[in-house]
Structure 1
Amino acid sequence: IKKCIDQLKAEAPQKHIQNLNNLINSSILEKKDEEKLRDIIKALSQNSHEEILLDLSKLEEEQFNRYLKEIVEAQKVYVSLKHNNSSDLNLLRKLKNKVAVTQTDEMNELYNKISDELVNRDQIIQQIELSNNQISLLNDNLEMLSNEVDELKRIVFEQTKENDSFVLAKKYQEICQEYYENEIERTLKLISEKCTKLIRNTYRKENYITRLEISKDFNVNIFKNKEKKNISQLSAGEKQLLVAAIMSTIIKTSPRNIFVIFDTPAGRLDGEHMVRFYKNIMIDTASQIIIMPTSNEINEEVINSIYSCVSDCYTINYNEEGYSRIHKNRIFDKEWIK
């Protein structure tokens, strides 16, 4: 490979001469440029062979150079391996000498120990094979017994099918009843918790009602801390807020999507409770709500609190002749601008 590379280097001038001759023969140069090239060719011809022996391409020349580089690297690796191998041989010789001087009794003891272990292993393997055979036999017996049991179960089921159907139906009924009662208890507890929070946010008096409970028989009990309060002690407006809060919580807890109509909803409420009712309870009760208040049940503060939630507004006027007239986009005597 080195000789080939040397030959390629020697051929380089001749290749250049060929390329220059091809350039002259192409007739694209001026005469003075041709004369200069001929002088260059003459100078190159003095140090070149008369003919090209290998005539390799550039890619082939690069491949030769790569081969040479790989051989040089391999040679370095070989020298390193040879050095390491010599060190390993020296280490093996030392170990061999140590083994040679080891006492014979220790070697015999180790040999006997290994022999005993091999014998024990063979015995254990035989025991495992025997146990596997016994397990296989027991599995066969178990399968046969299982088939007999399944057949007996089938016979018993055929004989008692009618009674079993009644028992299963009874159990199913009991399970459904238990689930029904549990769901009622869970739902009432959820409604009680949500309604308590709603009532506490709506009542003007702070901590007036701290807990509301709805029992399984649907009786409503209210507490102030641990003290049970009598609902009859509430004012008319407070009772109206309590009922509205319970109804609103039931509707929001239900998975049904229904619309709600409030007819004269705030007749017994004062100004502050009226605003709290519209803001906390009414506008959040359902996805669609229809309010039918009288002029005394809505004021400017209420309008401002629910303005962004209202889609359409109508005023119905009843005249003395017994006819009603509907005015769209009016809230009693004021225009409703949306």
Structure 2
Amino acid sequence: MIIKQLTLENFGIYKGRHEVNLSVNDDQPIILFGGLNGGGKTTFLDALQLVLYGKHAKCSNRGHQSYGSYLTSTKNRYVDEQDKVEISLTFTHTTETTTNEFIVKRSWQTNVKEVKDKVIVYCNSQEDAHLSQYWDEFVNEFIPLSLSDLFFFDGEKIENLAHPDRSADLIKTGIENLLGLDLLTQLHIDLNNVERKRKSENVDITTMEKITVLESEIAEHSTVVATLKKDIADLEKHASETNVNINQSRQKVRSAGAHLIEQRDSIKFELGAIEEKQKVNLAERVKLDAGCGPLGLIPDLINATKLQINKEQQATQAKVIQSAITDYENTIKQTLISENVPQKTLQALENTMGTLAQQRETLANIPCYIDAHIAMFNGLDEKIAADSKERAKLINQRGQLLEQQALYEKKLESIPDYETVQHLLSELAVAEAELKNDLVLIKNKQQLLQQAQARDEVLNTRYANLLTQQNRDTFEQKRSIQVAEHIAKLKSTMQSFAVDLIKENIQLLEQHIKDNFYDLNRKKNLVSNIKICPEEFTITLIDSNNNDMPTSRLSAGERQLLAIAILWGLAEASGKEIPTIIDTPLGRLDGKHRSKLVQNYFPYAGKQVILLSTDEEITGQYYTQLKPSICREYHINFDEQAQTSTFTEGYF
């Protein structure tokens, strides 16, 4: 079964008509929905279950309401009284080589005295009256109601399934439905009734009173057993609700910052350490500024000084050689005159010598006021560059220290006083105590139930023996005895068949659960094996030392992963092509467990996987890891102005 489209009209928070395309590809089985709390994710999941199962649907907020009252409460409060509510689901179902498309429409009006829903089913675009009339029976061919918990579940509440009793019930229900053992159970009950009727037909009058008394006692005891089962179911429901309240209280405590109170002293210590580092940083910067660092601020003045020193050196040299050069030039001129050099040449030479003499005079007249050597600047540029680099490093370090200081100061400011959050901590403590009390009561009730069931078995055995012993020796009597004997043999054969069938399939289920838990859990050496009792269906974990390990040793996140591994294993063992729909998929898991779930479970949970996530679950790296397997993305957002939630393409 693959869902193609869901249509909601005036259902819950969805005002008007909303259509969602849910078709997927073989290599991209995931459809990702994102929405804030209260935006309509759980309503979406309720709609899927309601359109399929009607009055038998396990909707989140129905409680003890009658079906008609619940249908009335699901209508959007902003639409007119005469407007109808309708949910439509389109899906395909393949049997052997044939694939058919079904459309299931469930609608109801609330402006009538007795609210009832109407179901219309279309097969390959043609209305099928027979399917529509008997849909409650036919739906189990597509998704059996008893198996719906394996494929539609809430990630926040799934941890409870890891409890030994809850997991045993889940595995028992799954195994019986997967193997068809529920039919054997019903056949066993029917055979008991036939056997009892056959034997009671041959009871003489003298023992009728004894049998009547025994039947009355059996009936009373059956009432006790039923009452205990109901009490246990109510307590488990209350415990589940209390567990949800505990999670909400923990969130309030975290939102109020109460969990940070214990960190106050460590934060103050960190702030003190940061202040000391800032003092050291300031001292280092002052030390740098006391050296040659300030010279880096006047590079033009330093260059001008170097230039002046060079000019002063040239002036000194000009003064020293001025007289020597003058004598040298006179000697040259006299020599040239004596050699009768042309007058024009002598005149050119005198002009050149005059120009050079004027230049030397200019150099010699340069004022000298520095009187220093250029070597005093050797290495200054390198030193200034090194100091500048060190100063930048210290300034960067100071910026980091200021950021750290601001962060810790913000944390310190966010830590409330104990008096302001005392009521939240008290509320959490009360809820935890209430849950503990519920668990104790459940355990006591279960012990009483075991005793009552044992007593009920004894009474039924006495009843069967009494009927058998009082049969008359007639032809009809013998025939009834023969029928009873054949029934006993048949029951024994069925019991042996069921035991062998369970043992054979439990080994496969053990391997599925073990492999799945190994893929999901980050601690590879935590569990080496998983065993399931074929009689009680309880799970036993085996640690790396080959010793039994109670589930209480697992963390809350590990228990949630174990529950998912159980559901996954049962779903795999079922061999059914059913969509997997998960509300709040990552729950309270830590980062590593979330990565395991994102990488190893969601892409392989089924051929179609619908995830209903908040904005704090599938984000960042988890979204990146999941992206290759995502076929479609939707954002469920509540429009204040239109008073309705809507589906828009794209995730957050």
Q: TM-score, normalised by structure 2?
A: 0.25
Larger Rg: 1
Q: TM-score, normalised by structure 1?
A: 0.47
- Choose between structure 1 and 2 for higher RCO, CA contacts under 8 A separated by at least 6 residues: 2
